[in-house]
Amino acid sequence: MSDIVDPRHEALVEHLFKRTLAVLNLPGFELRPLRRRVRGTGKLRSFAYGYTRIGVKLVTIDLYTPRTMKPRKMDAILRVIAHELAHHQQPPRLYRKWFRLVRLIHHPAFWTQYKKNVKQLQQDELLKSYF
């Protein structure tokens, strides 16, 4: 059984990801779909939509629902892409809380950047049909 459930869906997401990078002016990122060990069963039925690492320009996104492996809607995928790219635009903040350093990942400036990204994607002529 192939890892790719729907090659047309993944090709469309790859095309829209490249368009998103052009709209947000963020070159050099790579998209990788989240692959599960066993589809629809086991421990990897998590609800994480995607993740990224700040030092590496790689975005991993779950393109299918965890249990039934149906393709996710393009609206949800584009919002996840905007979310993960906002992590690179507004990296985590460190602040002191008593004698500890706390890393705040989803801080207010991050959410402002995420909303700007979604607004830019909604105003794009090609991508606005998916919202």
Q: What is the pLDDT of residue 4?
A: 67
34: phi then psi, degrees, rounded to nearest 5: -75, 125
Residue written as token pair 């690492």: 53
- Domains of the chain plus CATH, in order, are 7-130 (3.30.2010.10)
Does residue 33 have a pLDDT over 50? yes
Residues in the chain, how many?
131
pLDDT > 90: what percent of the chain?
67
Cα–Cα dist 100/60, whole Å: 31
Q: Binning pLDDT at 50, 70 and 90, where does residue 6 land? A: confident
